[in-house]
Amino acid sequence: MSRAATVLGLDCPRCRARYPESREWARVFAGCPRCRAAGVAANLTVALDLAGIGPDAFPTAPRTMWRFDRLLPVSRERAVTLGEGGTPLVRLERLGRRLGLSRLYAKDESRNPTWSYKDRLCSVAVSHAAANGARVITISSTGNHGASTAAYAARAGLPCVIFTLASVPDTMKVLMQAYGAAVIECPTSESRWELMRQGIERLGWYPTSGFVVPPVGSPLYGIEGYKTIAYEIVEDLGEAPDVVVVPSSYSDGVAGIWKGFVELRELRRIPRAPRMIAAEPFGPLAHALEEKLEAPEPVEGGASVAFSIASRYGTYQGLAALRASEGAATRITDEGVFEAQRALGREEGLFVEPSSAASLTAVMQLSAQRALDPDALVVVVLTSAGLKDPGASRAWLPAVPAAGGDFDTVLAALRDSYGLALE
């Protein structure tokens, strides 16, 4: 007997139209056609039947996200899984004290099978693809999403075609190819979406990322996987947090985690949902909030050390989540990202990718502006591991000094390179 959620249809969050499910991926994953005709890109979302969902939808074991399959579009029996989810919620006591926040936590998503939270999305997406007879998986990615897609495609026994950018660090390319994916470089983000779209339209490939301009975000089934982050946070805290901060490019994480909290509220497991805060390098959501735009517009881009989230585009559902939660968007700088990355490593023992540290960067900026209640229950989502981009961290670390023949050279090196006076 299937435990999967009952899908009522595919809903547009903007115009409220409901569409039937379909295997025409190029169409259902391109966003609401009615809103697109009106000039707004809006991703559809899975409409689940929450009636009849009881406490048994939230079992405490086994500690993978598939225990929540009553609220996922695929049953756990059909899951393509590597044991994703069940990541630790780590209290940041030392950092919290320094920032004047008495209840600061990190949801450490670097502990997933391919070391990023994309595994929740890709496990659901590839499971849905396999359950619907997909023959090839495809994606355009700068790394984390691609590596995760490649791993789950391998797990499903399906070929995987990845469109990436030449500028992506070689570590990411190695990771994607190591899982058996065919990785192809493209000159620009827009060009890779166009090539990917042809594979979807002409050959029926199943995508795990978006492929249209302006972007609508990732295919809607996979985003359901991010809801489980909300379920786990509430389970571990025993209550709803006040603020959840998520690194954001196309806002799949913001929108998916928010949807999880909304479901928990509708199912009366929490009295209220938290404020969602998006951390973004270029600020398309911040711009849309400031200008009171109905949907995000592309903003000025450039280079960012947080390249995994360096997008000029925001998405409708991300903006909608910020508005519905009375949240905010924070623009982060490279210096702020490095400061947060350094603090997580040195003060809390967590080494995360620069783009992941962006969530703490936002908290540092907001606490400096006294924009956070000192007693608020704050959770930063750390989305990916530091070893995804070691070169970025090397830039702010001292060169490793060599010891001479006697111990005095060691004491000198400790003092000169590390500021440690241990005599």
Return residues touching Zn ion (CB under 5 A). Answer: 12, 14-15, 32, 34-35
CB of 264 to Zn ion, least distance (A): 25
Query: Which is nearer to Zn ion, 14 or 227 (by Cβ)?
Result: 14
Residue 336: its H or E element: helix 334-348
**241 Cβ neighbours under 8 A, 6+ residues apart:** 105, 233, 234, 274, 377, 378, 379
CB of 265 to Zn ion, least distance (A): 24
CB of 17 to Zn ion, least distance (A): 5
Tally of residues, the chain: 423
CB of 262 to Zn ion, least distance (A): 19
Residue 382: strand pairing partners: 108
Give the burial class of 235: count Cβ atoms within 10 A of its Cβ; 0-12 exposed, 13-18 middle, 19 or more buried: middle
CB of 259 to Zn ion, least distance (A): 17
Q: Give the phi and the psi of residue 213 in degrees, each rounded to 5.
A: -120, 135
DSSP one-letter string for 266-294? HTTSSSSPPEEEEEESS-HHHHHHHTT-S
**For residues 209 and 198, what is the distance between their CA atoms, to the nearest angstrom?**
14
CB of 320 to Zn ion, least distance (A): 12
**For residues 35 and 43, what is the distance between their CA atoms, to the nearest angstrom?**
10
CB of 14 to Zn ion, least distance (A): 5
Query: Which is nearer to Zn ion, 15 or 410 (by Cβ)?
Result: 15
At 377 the three-state DSSP class reads: strand
CB of 393 to Zn ion, least distance (A): 42
Query: Which is nearer to Zn ion, 34 or 94 (by Cβ)?
Result: 34
Query: Which is nearer to Zn ion, 220 or 337 (by Cβ)?
Result: 220
In this structure, the number of other CB atoms found within 10 A of the CB of residue 313 comes to: 24
β 243-247/275-280 pair status? parallel
Query: Which is nearer to Zn ion, 32 or 126 (by Cβ)?
Result: 32
Query: Which is nearer to Zn ion, 195 or 213 (by Cβ)?
Result: 213
At 248 the three-state DSSP class reads: coil
Query: Which is nearer to Zn ion, 43 or 325 (by Cβ)?
Result: 43
In this structure, the number of other CB atoms found within 10 A of the CB of residue 51 comes to: 6
Query: Which is nearer to Zn ion, 40 or 150 (by Cβ)?
Result: 40
What angle is formed at CA 74 by the lines to CA 73 and CA 80, rounded to 5 degrees?
135
List the structure tokens of 215. Answer: 């972007």
CB of 13 to Zn ion, least distance (A): 8
Query: Which is nearer to Zn ion, 31 or 225 (by Cβ)?
Result: 31
CB of 317 to Zn ion, least distance (A): 11
Nearest CA-CA partner of 48 in 25, 68, 27: 68
Q: Write down the residue that tokens 């909290």 correspond to.
A: 261
CB of 41 to Zn ion, least distance (A): 10
Query: Which is nearer to Zn ion, 34 or 269 (by Cβ)?
Result: 34
What angle is formed at CA 117 by the lines to CA 112 and CA 118, rounded to 5 degrees?
110
**For residues 52 and 6, what is the distance between their CA atoms, to the nearest angstrom?**
10
Distances (CA, A) of 282 to 303, 307, 332: 9, 11, 8
Nearest CA-CA partner of 169 in 147, 137, 191: 147
Query: Which is nearer to Zn ion, 11 or 224 (by Cβ)?
Result: 11
